[in-house]
Every structure is written in C-alpha cells, then in structure tokens.
Structure 1
Amino acid sequence: MYFITRFECLLAILYLGMQAKTINLVSMILGHGEEDPSVLQNIPCYSTSAILVCMTLKICKISFMKIRTHYVLFPMLRIMNILFFYCISYLFPQFEGTVIQFVLTDCVGYALLLVMIYNGLYFIVEPDGPYGIGIKDIILKGKRNTPRILVYYPINKEEYNAKVENPSFTQELLVEGEDAIEGGSIGVAGLPGSSDAHPFLLSLFPSDPDKLKPVIEDLKYSRIRAILSSELHKDFRNGGKKLTPVIFSPGLAGSKNYYTTNCRYLASYGCIVFAISHTDGSCEFTCDYNQDPPKRVLYNHIDAKTNIDLAGRKYKDREEYFSLSVDNRTKDIETLYEYILECEFAKYLDPQKLVMYGHSLGAMTGIESCQTIKTLSGDLALKFCVAHDPYYMGKLSKIMKTDGYKVEQPLLLVTSETFKNSPIVKDYYDNNEITTKFVTNCKQGNDQVQDISWKNSGHMNQMDTSTSSPVIVRLLNFMGPINEAVPKAHELSKMVLKFLSEHRCLPVAVPSQHSNE
C-alpha cells in the first residue's frame, strides 16, 4: 500500500502555495489589478493538486523528495507551470479555476522535471583502469572529532563488471541512520537568500531513521557505482603491490559523496581513496558520532551581508569565517591521517606516496594540510598535492602578504576557465592575481609545480554534478558545455593520473594515450 507522509504533504502544500503566490504576481504584471482573488481563493485546489501528485508519484514508486532535492530547477519549473496554467485557461476555459487545471499544470510540470533529471538516467563515467572498484562506509572515532568517510579501493575487475552490468544492480548506500540524508544533495549554499532555508528543511525530516530510509532509497545521489565491502584485489592482498593512499577533501557544502568519478577513477588504477565529510559545518550534512544519539551537524551558511552564520556567530569578515573552516577541516584531515596508519588497509598501502587531493574549499584544505600535518619524526606527512580550483578566501591574506605560504611537495594545480567569474570569487578577490602569487610562492625551491588552466571547463566539471543531471547542466549552462560533460570528467581524472604516474606513485602503468590527452 502506498501512502504519503506528513512531511511530503506539508512540503507539497508549501510548494504549491508558493506557486499560487507566483501566479498571483504574474497576474498583477499582466494587468489583472493589484491582486487576482480568483487565484488566491483557489489555494485549496493547489493543496488538493499537491496531494494528488504526491499520491501519483508514490504509486509510481517515485518519492516527492527526489524531485524536491533539485532546488535549482524550481524557478524554471515555475515558469513552465505558469505558462501551461494560462494555456489551459485559454484553451479550456471550462477548467479555469478548477482542480483539473491545477492537477494538469503540476502533472505536466513534474513530467518535464522528471524528463530533465532522468533523461538517459545520468551519464555514467566508467574508469578505464585495470581494477574494479570496492567501497566501504566508515565512521572515524578520532581524538578531536568523528568524520565519516567513504573508502574506495581496487577489486577484481571481472567480479565488478559482472555486478555493475547486471540490470538489477543498484548499490544502496547511506541508509543506516539520519545522517543518511547526506546522500540527498540537500545543500543550498549556492542559492541567494537561502541562509535560513537549509536548517528549516532539515527540521521537517522525520526523527525516526527507519522512516527516513524509504526516502533515501529513492534518491539517485545515494547510489554509487561500486561494490560494497568487496574483497581487496589479490595484487595487493598478497603483497605483490602497494596501494597508493589518497585523501580527498570536498568543497564547500559538498560531502564525501559528491566526487565519485574522481575517486573511482583513482581506485581503478590501484589507489585507495579516503573521501571525507568534514565536521566543521562546511559539509552539507553530517553527524557528531561522539554523542548518543548522533547529533546532526548542519551546513553552517554565512550571510554575505552581515557576516553572521546560522549559529549566530559574527565574524569580522568573510576571510575569518573561511580561515577557521580551513583550520578545522585540517584537524579532520589529521584525524583521517592517523586512521590511515592504523586501518585494516594499512599493511597494504605505501604511506610514502600519500596524496592530498581536494576541490574548491577542499583544495584549500589540502594546501593547508600539506604544510601542517607532520609524521612522528617531524617530516611532512602528505607527500603530493592535487588542488582543483582552490577557494583561496580561507588564507587570502597569508598568500598575498607573505612568500612563505606555499606547498613544498610536488603540486598539481588545476584551475577551471570560468571559476574566476564565480560570484563567490570575483566579488572578493582576483583569482588570476592570487593564483599567480600562490604559484610563485610554491615555485621557490620547488621545480615540481604544474599549474594548469583548464580550458572550456567550469567549477562543477570537477564534481559529479556535471554528469549526474546532464540536461539540467545544458539548460542552466553554468557547469560547462553539456556535450563535453563526460569527456571533461575523463580528462580531469587522466590529468591527475598522468601527474601521479610521472612521480611514480601508481602501482600500475597508465596507458600512454593518457599522457597525450
């Protein structure tokens, strides 16, 4: 028996209520006067329509939550719905103001949304390495904090192919508690005026994890193309080869789930990748597992105008907020480093090849970690650094005012072509200027710095986002050209593989064509 939850009813009514206000505004613009009472009086019709649509989706085994996650499409969907609303009024005046008009409007809107989201399901970027990919979901009990990680590692390719090519294959992850919502892409960091929306939406979720499971199971982003808890490949298990350990730090409002292409690619070439969800509030959602029951740690948005975060703390400027975030994230990396040295995979990996890899704020976290995390003997613990589009805001003053803020390890710095034009960058600093200064710092006494300006690419080309909803990318045109989404994903991973191969970090050879791409 299919049913809709109280939460889904409430969310649907709120959502359709917003549509009523939107249509009323359009009516005013079209010259219907200051307000259109006929629209506002039909809010009950919107509510009925919302519930009917929810029931239809449930019968089709599609959760309203799945649609709800794609915030960025709502303005587009609203426009389409409004146009269709007035088309029905024009073509079928007998239905004007009736439940039929509202139901038809929303059914068409949701149908269009589903087509956009699920056109071709989504582009799967399959790594070309000699190994399959296994995965484990682990909670770290550190001295300071309890970050959650995904561990990607090489497994038997034949076993992997047999499972993932099976039409019934769906690797369900993140369904073991309320922290599972992390897989639902609920972060709204990039939306203007969203500073209070995120915790409000989270507060509506059912507190009982068992009630949350059906919601999570419907979310595409909770599925990763890897084999859960599979056996490590015999090449490493028998001691013939050593795994290359990689720590991956996600960007602002991201999590360990957002970079599966990057992590899977490296695992397919014999790396073991530890992707982390940070505990400082920069992750879209995680939990503090030091408490019983685990306490939710929400994304801690800072208001750009007031410099006040969601906890009510005021910062002197934006740089102070991000500097503290980078410092706290670095503590997470230190906790993870300590875990790597003692984990079940420790005897199979080579700590002398430990790679720090990050994107955006995660790249800045990696840059900071490479300078501060030390071994027991006092040496730098992280041996190589890969940084994609570092968000320099966290250490802006240090970079610009000193020559000593630099990475001494071999460094691959990849900057996407359009990142400098992002509002979170151009409104605060000149990305070209600070990149030049940082690279100049790093090259002092270090001839192993590769500074790559990645042409025809965007910030999101470095995440799963660009290939998970390709039609959305095409319509919004802010993540890079849609026809290049998959090639760009391959291109980026091959850049990283080429860099690691040149430094003899990989346990297997990289095909020669990678070096020419």
Structure 2
Amino acid sequence: MAKSQETSDHRTTDVLPEEAEVSSTKWSLASWVPKFPALPKYTGSFSVGCADLTWSYLKERQPFEEAEETATAQDNIRHMITRLYYPAEVTAAERTAKWLPSPSSVYAQGYGDFKKLPRWLSIPVVVGMLSFTSIHAFIEAKLPATGPFTNPAKKHQFPVVIFSHGLGGCRTTYSSICGEIASHGFVVCAIEHRDGTANASALPDTGKDTVTYRWPPVNDTDAEYQFRRGQLLFRVSEVQQTIQMLQRLNNGENIEEGKARTESESQFQNRLDFSNVVMAGHSFGAATTVETLRTEKSFFRCGILLDPWVFALEHESSNWRGGLVPTLDKPVLTINSEGFTNWKESFDILLPFLNANRERSRSPFLTVKESRHMNQSDFPILFRTVYGLKDKFSGKIDPEVAINLNNRAILQFLRNTVVEFGQFLPNDEQILSKEPSLITH
C-alpha cells in the first residue's frame, strides 16, 4: 500500500506549501506583508454572487473525533457550512465577499496551526494580508431571471456542482475555480467539511462550534488508514447532507426545520437542475468525489478529480493492480499537477482506475506541466509576491496560467458532458488534446 502523503517523502499539505522551518527562512516580517493580493477576475458572461448557508442535523460521534471538539448543546448535533457561488445580477448596492471567512482570526489561526507556524506570526500575517482581499463575487446578489440552457423548458434553471476541498482547505480556498465555473452558468456549492480536514471550521461571524484540524496517527500506516477512511466516509455523508439541503432549497422548503428561509435562499426555488449535477474535488476532495460517485450512482452526471489522493481508497481497492478495478461508469475529468503525476507510488495505483473508466465513458486525463499540488487552489496566486513562499506554493508555471488551464479544461469537459448546456460554454477543443502546456495521458 502506498504511504499516506502525510508520511511519505512526497509530503503533501494539500493546500499549503511544504513545511518550512521558520527559523531558517530568510525573510523578515516586513517582507511577508507586500501589497494586498488580488485574485483573477472571472471570465464568464455572468457576474457571480455568493452566499454562506449553514444548517444542523443529527449524527452520532465518529471514532476519529475527539469528544471535547464536538461538545454542543447536544453531542450529536452537527453543523454544515457551505458557500454557494452562483450566476448573479449585480447592482451598485452589493459588496464583494472577503476571501478569508469570518471570523478571520479563527481561519488565520487554522492555516497557521496546519503549517505549525507560531500564532504570533500566522494570525497577524494571514489576517493582515488576506482580510482585505476580496473575491469577485457579490454577497447574496440576485439570481438572474434566466439561466444558460437553450431548452425553453429549462430556461430558468441552472446546473449544479458540489465541490469538496482537500486537507487544510475550507469553503473559500478554491474560489478561483468555483467562481469561474459559476460565471459560466453553474450554481457551485463548496462544502466546508467538519471532519477535521479543514484548516478550521466555525459558524460564520460568531465563531461558535469551531472544529480544528485533526492530525492522524503517526508511524502507523494501518491506524492512519483507518483514521482517514473514517474521515472519508464522514465526508461522503456530508455530501449527502448537502444534496438534501439543495433539494430543500429547490423545493422552497426551509433548509433546516424551524429556521426561516432568507430572501437569498428563497430565490433558488425551482431554479436548480438536478438532472445535471457534477461532483468535484481536490486531493482528499477528489477521493471524496470518487467515493461519492460510487455511492450516489444515479444522482451525478459526471465528476471532476483534481490531483486525486488515493490513500483512503487504497485498502478497499488493494486489487487494482490485479485487475479488479472499481469503476464509476460516469464521465470523469482528471487533472493532475506534474508533481502528483511524478509521484510514482500514487500514480501507479491511480492509472489503472482511470484507464478502466476511460474504457467505459469519456474520461480525459491531463497533467499541467511544471505545476505543483497547490496550483489548483488560490494560494499560489495570493502568496506569489511573498519572499520565501512563492516556490513552496507553486511550480515553475505562472500561478494564474495554471488556474486558467485547469478552468479551461473543466469548462470544455462540462461542455462535452452536461446535457443541453454545451452551446453556452466557450468551445475550447484544443485544451483536452493539443494544448502544449498539458500532457494528455
């Protein structure tokens, strides 16, 4: 079995760069605080709105959880937190959303703790740099009267993407991808997982019911597998909770019993197209996507895997090399960073799985040249001017070019896959076959 990336020589932080000793880094605190970073604008024909949705549900405590971290009014009450990115009609009254979720200190501390940075450094630097950084999405903006479909029967509806983050991420970490997809006519629901794989997760504004990052057992591969496997199954249950929430939202019901709908939530009634739902994710989120597509076979039209991390899937799939490869029977787009493709131990397990699915459906597999694992998140763009971190976040490729290549490939795949929707998306056939910056497998 391949080692977890947490314990192998190919250490992954899934969102943040490889760990660096603070004492040996040749920068001053002042060099950490350049101008406030900016993310690229979205390219689609729609402006983008966003809204954070929270609700609670009942679920028993899981073995990987620590009792003190789930203490609420009732131990089995769980909270879900998601961010919707969606096509919008924007007026002068709306304001853009901040990249760092609220409360910003909780998430700044979470990112720092995840990287084992001292809090005297992580909180002021992350808050100082990123609390003024906005995404190009407007808070609770109005949904347009008509959507992207050419079919008159669906002209008021929007296809849906559910997105799952990787280790150390949260609901805003991939805003460059989620917002771009939304600008082309999709409602994208980014889950903030509460299994201890987010850098931190807290109820918006209040900071209540905070779940911090949970570290796996060390020097025990089997124990780590059981730990990660438990988290993976918990994540799948959160995807199922999200599906139910979106269905309630579309039916005009309260997303939580006893909790009145907001005006922002009400506008989604009868606007979501559940015949065109896409499951997507990065790294552990890509593993979540694989497991979800195998569990919820009839609900999703296709999947998108960004640098899929196979560790938590591996025990169940130990016969992959022997030919007993699990299949999804769905079109799946896989985009690897060159760093992940070069990680032979993982790639040798991943490739038979992808090849088996390509025999059954249209499932392209691409590698972005000169890119690293974090090039599929916002971080290389946000920190590209920070001395000492630029090379930790990104490969040699320009971070905006890397995100653009990922987005172009995703949009072309959706053009080829989502029913009655392709004509709306830009035709970019070259990206899946002849783009010189991509390796086609």
Stretch moving more, 255-264 or 279-288: 279-288
- CA change 1:473–1:235 in 2 (3 A) is farther
1:321 equivalent in alignment to 2:232: no
Residues 222, 146 of structure 1: CA spacing in aligned structure 2 closer, same or farther, 3 A cutoff? Answer: farther
**Distance in 1 of aligned mates of 2:37 and 2:23:** 20
Partner of 2:30: 111
Q: Report SS of the residue matched to 1:147.
A: strand
Offset at residue 78 of structure 1 (A)? 5.7
Query: Is the alpha carbon distance of 1:467 and 1:259 closer, same or farther for their aligned partners in structure 2, counting shifts above 3 Å?
Result: same
Pairing partner for 1:453 from 351, 367, 378: 367
Which residue of 304, 309, 332 maps to 1:386? 304
Runs of 4 or more, structure 1, over 6 Å off, are 70-74
Q: Bigger relative contact order, structure 1 or 2, given CA contacts below 8 A and separation 6+?
A: 2
TM-score scaled by structure 2?
Answer: 0.74
Distance 1:386 1:182 in 2: 30
For residues 440 and 513 of structure 1, the distance between their equivalents in structure 2, rounded to whole angstroms, comes to 24
In 2, Cα distance between the equivalents of 1:479 and 1:326?
A: 25
Correspondence for 2:55: 140
> Quick check: 1:152–1:267 contact (8 Å CA) kept in 2?
yes
AA paired with 1:146?
H
- Residue in structure 2 matching 1:362, options 272, 277, 285: 285
Query: In structure 1, what is the equivalent of residue 64 of structure 2?
Result: none
Give the secondary-structure state (helix, strand or coil) at the position aligned to 1:352.
Answer: strand
Q: 1:462 to 1:163 in 2, by over 3 A?
A: farther
Q: TM-score, normalised by structure 1?
A: 0.64
Match status 1:470 vs 2:399? no
SS in 1 for 2:375: helix
The alpha-carbon deviation at position 277 of structure 1 amounts to 0.6
Q: Given the superposition, is the C-alpha separation of residues 175 and 268 from structure 1 closer, same or farther in structure 2, using an over 3 Å criterion?
A: closer
Quick one: distance in 2 between partners of 1:357 and 1:330?
A: 12
Match of 2:352 among 437, 442, 455: 437
More helix by share: 1
Match 1:171 to one of 91, 94, 97: 97
**d(CA) in 1 for partners of 2:165, 2:376:** 10
Q: Residue type of the partner of 1:243?
A: F
**Post-superposition CA distance 1:398-441 (Å, at most 9, x none):** 233152522221100111111255xxxx5xx7122111121133
Name the CA distance, whole Å, in 1 between partners of 2:290 and 2:101: 33
When residues 182 and 353 of structure 1 are mapped into structure 2, their CA distance, relative to the original with a 3 A threshold, is farther
Q: Is the 8 A contact 1:360 1:390 kept in 2?
A: yes
| CA-CA distance at 1:274 after TM superposition | 0.3
How far 1:278 sits from its partner (Å)? 0.6
Q: 1:337 and 1:391, CA in 2 relative to 1: closer, same or farther beyond 3 A?
A: same
Q: Work out the CA distance in 2 between the residues paired with 1:451 and 1:265.
A: 21
Look up the match of 2:13.
Answer: none
Match of residue 147, structure 2, among 222, 233, 236: 236
Shift of residue 293, structure 1, vs aligned partner: 9.0
Corresponding residue of 1:331: 237
- Which amino acid is 2:331 matched to? P
1:477 partner SS: helix
Deviation, structure 1 residue 450: 1.3
Shift of 1:360: 0.3
Match of residue 213 from structure 2: 299
Contiguous gaps of at least 5 residues in structure 1: 1-69, 82-108, 206-211, 308-315, 374-378
Contact 1:183 1:219 survives alignment (8 Å): no
Alpha-carbon distance in 1 for matches of 2:425, 2:209: 43
Q: Distance in 2 between matches of 1:507 and 1:126?
A: 22
Give 1:153's match in structure 2, choosing from 56, 79, 86: 86
Counterpart for residue 279 of structure 1: 194
Give distance in 1, aligned partners of 2:277 and 2:368.
25
Deviation at 1:508, TM superposition (A): 5.7
More strand by share: 2
Q: Tell whether the 8 Å contact from 1:150 to 1:274 is kept in structure 2 after alignment.
A: yes
Paired residue for 2:330?
409
Aligned to 2:8: none
Give the AA of the match of 1:112: S
Distance change >3 Å, CA 186–CA 513, structure 1 → 2: same
Q: Distance in 1 between matches of 2:387 and 2:305?
A: 24
Aligned residue type for 1:465: F
| CA spacing shift, 1:293–1:390, aligned 2, 3 Å | closer
1:466–1:479 CA contact under 8 A, matched in 2: yes
1:209 paired residue number = none
Give the whole-Å Cα distance in 2 for the aligned partners of 1:299 and 1:254: 10
Contact 1:387 1:413 in 2 (8 A): yes
Structure with greater Cα Rg: 1
| Partner AA of 1:153 in structure 2 | Y
- CA distances 1:140-198 after superposition (whole Å, capped 9, x unpaired): 32343322000000013xx37x689xxxx76347776x5x545437335764xx4xx79
Q: 1:76 to 1:472 in 2, by over 3 A?
A: farther
Moved more, 493-502 or 216-225: 216-225
**CA–CA separation in structure 1 for the residues paired with 2:368 and 2:333:** 12
2:108 aligned residue (174, 184, 188): 184
Structure 1 residue 302, shift from structure 2 partner: 1.7
- Contact map agreement 2:199 2:213 (CA 8 A) in 1: yes
**1:80-133, Cα deviation, whole Å (9 max, x unpaired):** 46xxxxxxxxxxxxxxxxxxxxxxxxxxx2322223xx3xx3242212100000
**Alpha carbons 2:158, 2:186 under 8 Å: kept:** yes
Q: SS at the partner of 2:97?
A: coil
Residues 476/126 of structure 1: CA separation in 2 closer, same or farther (3 Å cut): closer
2:318 aligns with one of 400, 404, 426: 400
C-alpha separation between the residues in 2 aligned to 1:514 and 1:187? 38
- Alpha-carbon distance in structure 1 between the residues aligned to 2:192 and 2:422: 27
Gap runs ≥5 in structure 2: 1-15, 60-77, 250-265, 436-441
Assess if the C-alpha contact under 8 Å between 1:399 and 1:437 holds in 2.
no
Partner residue of 2:71? none
User: 1:35-57: CA deviations, max 9, x gaps?
Assistant: xxxxxxxxxxxxxxxxxxxxxxx
Q: Alpha carbons of 1:417 and 1:348: their partners in 2 closer, same or farther (altered >3 Å)?
A: same
In structure 2, the CA distance between the partners of 1:434 and 1:80, relative to structure 1 (3 Å rule), is closer
Deviation at 1:222, TM superposition (A): 6.8
The 1-side partners of 2:93 and 2:23 are apart by 36
Identity of aligned residues (%): 19
